[in-house]
Structure 1
Amino acid sequence: MAYLLVVEDDRELGELLLRVFGGAGYTADLAPDGQAGLHRALTRRYDLLIIDRGLPAIEGLDLLARLRRSGVPAPALILTALGTVADRVAGLDGGAEDYLVKPFELDELLARVRVLLRRPAAPAGHVLPVGGAEFDLITRTVTGGDGEPVTLSGRESDLLRLLAENPARVFTRREIVATVFPESTTETLADTYVHYLRRKLGPAVIATVRGAGYQLGRR
């Protein structure tokens, strides 16, 4: 059974979500503000976090950043009325794995929850080598000997993990999209997120294998 934490200050919506998740076979807790969400997430293990952005006490992205710094590994879905491209980018770059804008269809929400819960959890060691750096799967940071840790978004982390766990393998764009973006068939997403990782970690972190795809490079 999966355990979900819903951090939502709209009481009516929060209670609706509890009923919907309960009907789908999940156990869900509701926190009415960011401070309560922080306390619950730090004192109980959850499989998925569903977080509003405009929360009292602690804003949603600030809450997520605090949880990531504290080593909370549960994937996060931002559920908010803030729906511009800049808002979505801020949410994904802030450590969320997915972003859904209100109003939304309950069937789509449940489908996204299923996708996030299918993703593998971080292994016990949770640190992978990436060239001369270390990639922490829980905090989603890459740390080398030459600077401050670099924080990755949820999808950037998923892509780097795929390559770092299979350093000798070349992945096609289709394989990357099927693994990292299972809800999409748009192969250019692979190119886009390779670009994001190279921008954050340097151009050599991912190697392009001409005519084949991408594999882990040397940072």
Structure 2
Amino acid sequence: MSSGIVNVWVISPDTHSERRLDPHITVEQLKTKLEPITGISAGNQKISLYNNESDTQSTAQLSDDSKQLGFYGLRDWHVLRVEDTNPSVSFTGQLNDYSKVEKFELSDDAYAKRQDTVLVYKQQHKVGRFAPSKPQEGSTKPDVDIPVGSRCEVESTEPGLHKRGTVRFYGETKFATGKWVGIEYDEPFGKNDGSVEGEQYFSCRTNYGVFLRPGKVKIGDFPVLDDLEADEEM
């Protein structure tokens, strides 16, 4: 490296680069060197000197073409910001100006006819709104025959507890979608009297009625449990 050469940053509207400069060249010579780099003609260049890139206030304006760069105290890692005083005759700034770029627009009908779009992919693979609709709650299993008046037993999470009763209703309700079984329990294990939200589906004593999904109900010969049977057998 030649003695006295300094490394500086050169920044213009479209460029940002590191350059090695001889502080003995004049401002006029510098502008000539920067013309092919920045795309700004030498006559339209305005060069400002900054201590670093984060500075907002310049330390000098290289306004005298006859002065050497050393006159302005140029040293390593100074920043030379080059502005275009007449951008209408050059290309500066146009690389980032998207307002002059013609936008590609496609009508909905034209888009629908194309075979290489996301829309086609979703249709072929049944994704998103093209996916098969899920069955509503309560209709995931085939309909079963639950005759009204039949005896039944209900699953219980409590060990040894058997909830038995009689089917009093089977069908659709207003409080939820799908089929429901209305049961009158033999004992007060229920939650209602056969009505829900003001709608009466069957009648029974308070807290003897309950509505369950068919999958929780077992139909069969389930007699009423007698708590005294165990004592009588002793």
TM class, shorter-length:
under 0.3
Q: Which has the higher strand share?
A: 2
* Greater gyration radius: 2
